[in-house]
Amino acid sequence: MTEERSSLADRAREFRRTFDRSFAEPVRDDAVAIEDLLTFRLPSGSHALRLAEAGGVFAGRAVTKLPGSDAELLGISGFRGTLVPVYDLHALLGAPSVEQPRWLVTAKAAPLAFAFETFEGHLRVPADSIVARPADHAARPYVHRFVAMQQTVHPLVHLQAIVDAIVGRTTGKTQTGSKNQ
């Protein structure tokens, strides 16, 4: 019986030492950086945008057309008590426009919304799966990076660059965009 108590006391002392030592060691950061993406479809294929750049995603919102507006400007829509201009994401990315896009994504950086037809889903990917434009892909406005996943590659739309361009156009100034594309 005494031998069991001695063994148990030794184990308890070892646990205490290990526990106390763990506070003296540097914090380990084994976590992999993760990016949350929203994926949507254009006639040219699947695309993605960073969820961190989006303020919200909405389905079936009414968009009121405005007379004499830019070709990309579909009109305005209400979001949380505020009227917001809605732009055609298809047209901004060089794809054919859709008559009445079902989905709208608001920008986090400015009171703007972008309409698109087909929402595909949410992706959570390691940050290192976001790569620079492959050499065999033609340069496209607002697409500077790609999400490489297994056997597919999604162009990553830089929503902040679109916001900067629109704000620059409407104010007559060029904006300094985010360098994190």
Which sequence spans correspond to the domains of the chain?
34-171
Strands 82-88, 54-59: pairing kind: unpaired
Q: Is the pLDDT assigned to residue 105 strictly greater than 90?
A: yes
Q: For residue 47, which of 123, 106, 99, 126 has the smallest C-alpha distance?
A: 123
Q: What local confidence, expressed as pLDDT, does residue 81 receive?
A: 86
Backbone angles phi, psi at 19, to 5 degrees: -60, -50
H-run or E-run covering 145: strand 143-149
Q: What are the pLDDT digits (tens) for 66-86?
A: 887 678 899 999 988 889 999
pTM score, whole prediction = 0.74
**pLDDT on residue 37:** 94
> Which residues, other chains included, contact 158 with Cβ-Cβ below 8 Å and sequence gap of 6+?
49, 53, 142, 143, 144, 145, 177, 178, 181
Compute the average pLDDT of residues 152-177. Answer: 79
Fold designation for 34-171: OB fold (Dihydrolipoamide Acetyltransferase, E2P) (2.40.50)
Residue 144 contacts residue 133 (beta carbons within 8 Å): yes
